[in-house]
Amino acid sequence: MSLLKEAWPASRLVNALAGGVQGSARQRLRSNWTQRLRATVDKPAFAELWKDIERICNDVREAPWPELPLSLFRQFANTGERKPYEDVYFERRGRLVAIVLAAVADPVPRKMKEVESGLLDICSEYTWALPAHVNEEDTVTPPWQQVDLFASETAQMLVEILLLLGEKLADHVVVQVHKEVEHRVLEPVFWQPHHYDWETAEHNWSAVCASGCGIAALLLAKDDFSKAVAIERMLGALDCFLAGYREDGGCPEGVGYWVYGFGYFIYFADMLREFTEGAVDILNSEKVRQIAAFAERVHLSDGIFANYSDSSETERLPSGLISHVNYLQGRPSTLPFRVPGLLEDPCRRWAHVLRNLVWTNPLVYGCGEAEIDYLPQLGWLMCRSLSSSHHGSGGQQDHSDAILAFSAKGGHNNEPHNHNDLGHFILHGGGENLLCDLGAGLYTKAYFSPGRESIINISSSGHSVPIINGTTQQSGAKARAVVLDVAMDEQEGAQKVTSFKLDLTSAYAVDELAVFTRSFAWSVLEGNEGARLTVTDHFEFETSSMNVKPWDVEELLISRIQPNTGAGFVEWKGTNAVVRLNYDAGALRQRLEAVKHIDHDGVPFVFYMTSLQLDSNRWNGSASVDCNLFFTIHQSSC
């Protein structure tokens, strides 16, 4: 599909870019961005962001910029570790972001000198691409012309800095920035074009790279025709990005990569609209509107998300992006309002931070209602219920409300940033995922190499799904959850029940396994004082000569909370809510394991794996068995 590229070929784009509109767009953007940025300096909502900026600016004045020697660059090739180089790389970007924003707010000569020095420092780097994305054995394209996510981001950052401050910077600095962006990005992508894999990728790479390269071309290319040719090519990449989404707007990479990919798509679309005075609007489609709603659909409550794939449950969504998306949709956001600090983003992304300052609008944030969201093509279900709690003593009763939520996942095991997690589920209460998804692990060479299934974040053994005959889920598109039934808020007696049934047989390469289905049933307790989830796993095993082959199933449940256990029950007590599991102790043997691990940022933590074991001996050799897990969730009493 080439909807954007076909709608806007270079021959049509060149007309939209002509007539002096770009000069007025530059002046308008520079003026609007500068005015809005300065207006945030004294606003309480932006206080933490400006504190971060001030803190980093002080670091710049007190300590030299950390260096990126070639020896550090090659550490990834030698050891597979990404973090040592990337920590320094992103600190350097964060320094430039901070000193530039401080200079826009208060353009005194001393701050301009700091900006000039920072720009030249970035221009002197060996390559703007990360070592994990560079092939040094490529005899055609040298490392400094291998354009990845971060080379694209760097180019976008530099040209937008020149848009804001170029008239106040020394001529030789501006010339050097132009030269490096041209040589490192525009030349290999557009003028002496190489084919990059990201141009046909159906995930975040195509959007981020096309946005960075496209904005760089829009702001630096010398003539309208060159700009039009460049933009046409990037629209082709964005067509591939959009093709990675289905009609429900679901992002298989998770909410963190929705922010990354769709966020940069929005940034490019807005810049293109500005530079054509509204003539080119690539956001006006139903599919884009569906994609725009994704973050709210997977939001459970209080800024906590259903975080399948390589996303965090506590993703800090850019307030500028959310404001802009909801302004375009003409309705308030249901997400909590908060402007993220600069230091909260490990990558210190200029595009997010700038637009947090110039786009954030608290008025587009509102309150959300408890509701059900189902993404049929993606296979994700999110159920939210408003729970009321009455507690107190001495005749005085306190009343409090909290969201209780449940989410479950279908899909397949060959998704971008894939985890082998078909049938996995999350239980959430009072702003906390009590049964959780571990999210992304520490990115290393091994994390994206063959055999990655052994990493606990990726393996089904790190998710709330069973191990069957000692076998975890297999990778690949053939491992697929088939939705057998989904029914939302159906009346069953006095209760409304949401049910979700998946056939997960193909997820397990187990010869003896004939059928495995997992069914979920979610309902609200009487008086809205809690909710109930019943999980029923149905297994059928092959027989041989009238005898059933021995089998065993180990049900896994994953949480960051150490549970209390007893005969026939497990209880996870969070800050504001409690989950209790009741099960048949005569059929299931319970075991608890504390697992030491490190998170995506390399920080150590412990999670708890509850195992419930059933085997054929306890079922008299039956070839068919149902395993029932009965969960209740309610607010804590204290």
| Helix/strand/coil (H/E/C) assignment for every residue in 440-463 | CCCCECHHHCCCHHHCCCCCHHHC
pLDDT at 546: 62
pLDDT at 548: 64
163-198 in b/e form (b: 16+ CB < 10 A) is bbbbeebeeebbebbbebbbebbbebbbeeeeebeb
Domain ranges of the chain: 3-364, 372-390+397-635
Higher pLDDT, 614 or 39: 39
Among the listed residues 91, 96, 104, 216, the one whose alpha carbon sits nearest the alpha carbon of residue 152? 216
Residues sharing a CB contact under 8 Å with residue 534, sequence separation 6 or more, in sequence order: 519, 520, 521, 628, 629, 630, 631
pLDDT at 473: 98
Average pLDDT over residues 590-614: 96
pLDDT at 391: 55
Among the listed residues 460, 543, 437, 553, the one whose alpha carbon sits nearest the alpha carbon of residue 507? 460
pLDDT at 461: 97
pLDDT per position as a tens digit, 267-281: 999 999 999 999 999
**pLDDT mean across residues, the chain:** 93
* CATH pick for 3-364 out of 3.40.50.1260, 3.90.870.10, 1.50.10.100, 3.40.50.1100: 1.50.10.100
CA within 13 Å, CB half, 131: 25
pLDDT per position as a tens digit, 128-180: 999 999 998 888 899 999 999 999 999 999 999 999 998 999 999 999 999 99
pLDDT per position as a tens digit, 360-413: 999 888 776 668 999 999 999 999 998 876 555 455 555 568 899 999 999 999
Cα torsion angle, 334, 502, 589, 307, sign = negative
Q: Are 109 and 116 in contact (CB under 8 A)?
A: no
pLDDT at 392: 53
621: pLDDT confidence band, cut at 50, 70 and 90? Answer: low
Average pLDDT over residues 580-596: 96
The model's pTM is 0.94
623: pLDDT confidence band, cut at 50, 70 and 90? Answer: confident
pLDDT at 526: 81
Residues sharing a CB contact under 8 Å with residue 62, sequence separation 6 or more, in sequence order: none
Q: Are 571 and 632 in contact (CB under 8 A)?
A: no
CATH no. of 372-390+397-635: 2.70.98.70
What φ, ψ does residue 498 adopt, rounded to 5°? -105, 125
Displacement of CA 557 from its chain's centroid (Å): 23
Residue 189 has pLDDT above 70, yes or no: yes
In this chain, the answer to whether the domains covering 3-364 and 372-390+397-635 adopt an identical fold is no
pLDDT per position as a tens digit, 503-522: 999 999 999 999 999 999 99
19: pLDDT confidence band, cut at 50, 70 and 90? Answer: confident
The residue type at 299: H
Helix (H) / strand (E) element for 56: namely helix 47-62
Higher pLDDT, 391 or 288: 288
Whole-number percent of the chain with pLDDT over 70:
96
pLDDT at 553: 95
